[in-house]
Each structure stands twice: as C-alpha cells, then as structure tokens.
Structure 1
C-alpha cells in the first residue's frame, strides 16, 4: 500500500480540524501508549526515534486541550510525567488498557524502552538479528489493567475529540471494547502495523459501520475521522468531561 505526501497532508488537515473546534473552548483526548510524551518512532525514510517528535505533545502544547495519558511501563511513565510537568490539564495513568479490568503479565524491554507488550513473542520479535543482551533485557512485570470503558467512566469523560492508540498489536482489541455508538471520538489514530491483515480489514469495517472514514497515513498508522467532520459533528455535545480536569497522577504500585 502506498501512502505518500497526500495521505500525510490529509492526516494533518483532519487533526487541524479537531484542534480548531471553535464551539468547544476545551478539547479532550485520550492517548493509550503515551510513551514518554516526547520521543516518537519515525519510520522510513527516517527509521529512528525523534526527540520532540511526539505528535500529541505538539498538539497539547498549543493549549486548549485536556486529556488522559496512559503508559504501563513504570520507568517510561516517570519520564512522561516529567515531560508534561508544566501542564495542569492532564491526567496520567500508569496502567495498561485491556479487554477487562484486573492484573496481567506485561513485558518491558530495557534495551528499547518504547517497546512493551502483553506478548513476550511480540517483544522478542523486534530483535531478529540477535543483538547482544536484548533478550536478557526483557523483563516480565505485573501491571494493573482497565478496560477503556472503565477508564473513561473513572474520569467522567463522555466525549473524546481525539483517541490516539499505540498498543503494540492490541489496538483493534481496544477499539472493539469501546461502544462506538455511544462514544464517538471525532478522530481516531491507531497503529495498524502489528495487526494481521484480517484484523486490519475487520477494524476498517467496524469503523466504517460507525460512520468513520478510514485513511492509512503511513506504514505504521491509520487515521479515522467522522464522516463530514469539519469541527464538531452535529450529534455530539461540546466539551468532554463533566468537570474540569486537573493534573492527577494515578500511579499504582503492584
């Protein structure tokens, strides 16, 4: 599949529409797999981590946004809080989003702190060349899990302007767990790279069934936007949480 500059331009245009919603003084996002909030993997032709490249950080730094940032890796989570230390409109959750609430095994890699997953196989396959010490750097930890519905209910969030998901192959599971009839994010950006072809097809069908146009933007990500979106859709109320957000650090020791 080819993506090119036109797809990237389309993604920027849609995100710009979400950002510039004039009817709502506050805009709300949820970022699942927030990393450290500052560095982001850039695929070919760049092919490396870019400092200051996190798209959500650039968006939120412009002001007018409140949101929830989820990062399960406890070491990366500390850096996430630090990188957003001057912003008081954000909620931080040191959890993993899963199909149900509870506690699960989770694998983190100390050689690549942006790599973590529920799947040991998924974590190890990122080292096909057998770099010295890579396998030994993978650690199994226990993480507290919430479903996306539980997370939104906990923080009284009933409208989302932007849902960003980077869950290392679990993106479709997370989208399936969200009631897209009741809760319609205006834009959804998710990582398709680690989905099977069947999952990519099913995910696209699910989103289109619920009124989204689906646009793969590069070899990693897909952006879905509500049909005809130019600001707020007519059937969605302005605002997101019923009460104003304040910085909340929800760190759970296990």
Structure 2
C-alpha cells in the first residue's frame, strides 16, 4: 500500500539489500536519490551534519560529487575530518567544517571506538557519539572507548555565520543526536526541503516515543515522511 501511495508522486521504495553492490541499475534509485533529483536545481544547497570521511557508508557523496552541488559538510573528529578533506579535495563547492553541532555548548566530549584497537568492522570508525552509552548498543566494551573534546556550534550559529538562506537537503547522522538537531531548526526562518536522518529504532538509537515526537514535529511543519529500516526522510515537494 505504501508503494502504491508513493508511486502517485513518482517514488518507489526498495529494500536496502537491493543496493549492496556498488552500482545502481539504470533508472533505479533509492528514495533519497529520487527526492534529490526531484529537488535538484542550479542553486541547490546541502548541509551534512556527521559527514564522517565523506565516503564510507555515505548516502549523499555520489549525489554531491556527480552533480557538483554546493554545500557544507561537518565532521568533528580531527583524523576523520582529514580524510573528509582528502575525499572532497576536487570539489571546491563543498565547504568543510571541523566542528560538532550542539544546542548550547561550545565544547563537548565525544566517545568513539579507540582507533588503535584492531578487529572492529569499518563502520565502527564512524560512530563517535556524545552519549558514552551509545556504544553499548553495539556491544563494544567500555575499555575500547576513548573520549576527545571537540568544538561545537549551534545550528543557528552555522546558519548565521555562513549566511545560509535556504537548505535543500539536510543530511544528519550523529549517532543518537539527530532529533536534537531537528529540534534546533527554526522552521519560521528556514525549511529544508529534504531532511534525512537516522532513527535506528531497531538498534535502540532512537526510542519509539522519541520518533513519534520527532514525526509529530515534522508533520506540524508540513513534511511528509518516508520511514526506512534505519533512517527516515522528511520532505516537502510543494515548496
């Protein structure tokens, strides 16, 4: 039924496993890809919060680089940020910031899997979190977690400092802080056309009650929502 409803606006939902190979079949795109191309225009602008190295497990790198759109990618962890800089070196339209987004603090502790520890899968490299307990969800022992202090700015500061007038795509992946960032959006001033974020309810990253609260906030601001296995996409196609 969901696919039938979405097909009326030209969207389809595909299982994540469909995209395990490193290619896409002609004319077949994920829901985020489809919304990106429906929204794409010459002045398209994105903000990515929690950009990791720009490539690993990144849903928008191929879109950004193939279409050479403008935007800002944010990653607070210094060594990961260095890789982000390297991966975006040929794309001057993308501004890179080595900070975290936080509602009211200028510095925060981030907890990450110790990069010196061997034997962990690649995805653990991209899971630094403000919440130390976040890593318990992945059954990573506390002895393998290290902390670092990172600089922070608020979403409002980001928007004001960089004179952002509109956001076509807001991509968020902050290991448990996504809803807090969505709550920072002043919808009376700026309405991202697409907001893509991680809910991770199956893993316990976001509780069902939090997701319902997040969903209601987005509904109140006239967003439609597509819920995927680990992520959700809120969008406005009538802007």
CA distance in 1, matches of 2:210, 2:51: 23
Shift of residue 172 of structure 1?
0.7
Select the residue among 118, 127, 138 that pairs with 2:139.
127
Shift of residue 64 of structure 1?
4.2
CA distance in 1, matches of 2:39, 2:194: 7
Shift of residue 155 of structure 1?
0.7
- 1:181–1:210 Cα contact (<8 Å) kept: no
CA distance in 2, matches of 1:197, 1:95: 29
Normalized against structure 2, the TM-score is what?
Answer: 0.80
- 1:206 match: 217
- 2:231 match: 221
Higher relative contact order structure (alpha carbons within 8 Å, sequence separation ≥ 6): 1
Which runs of 5 or more structure 1 residues have no equivalent in the other structure? 41-53, 129-133, 234-254
Select the residue among 119, 128, 132 that pairs with 1:116.
128
Select the residue among 171, 189, 195 that pairs with 1:188.
195
CA distance in 1, matches of 2:32, 2:171: 13
Runs of 4+ in 1 over 4 A off after TM superposition: none
Where do residues 19-30 of structure 1 align in structure 2 (5 Å cutoff)?
19=40, 21=41, 25-30=42-47
Shift of residue 204 of structure 1?
0.6
SS at match of 1:118: coil
Deviations 1:184-232 (A, max 9, x none): 001110111121111100111101111110111x211101111x43xxx
Q: Which has the higher strand share?
A: 1
CA distance in 2, matches of 1:12, 1:67: 17
- 1:51 match: none
- 1:103 match: 107
Which runs of 5 or more structure 2 residues have no equivalent in the other structure? 4-10, 15-29
- 2:48 match: 31
- 2:33 match: 12
Q: Quick check: 115-124 or 6-15, which moved more?
A: 6-15
SS at match of 1:106: strand
Shift of residue 94 of structure 1?
1.0
Kindly report the root-mean-square deviation, in angstroms, between the aligned alpha carbons of the 2 structures: 1.9
- 2:173 match: 166
- 1:73–1:108 Cα contact (<8 Å) kept: no
SS at match of 2:211: helix
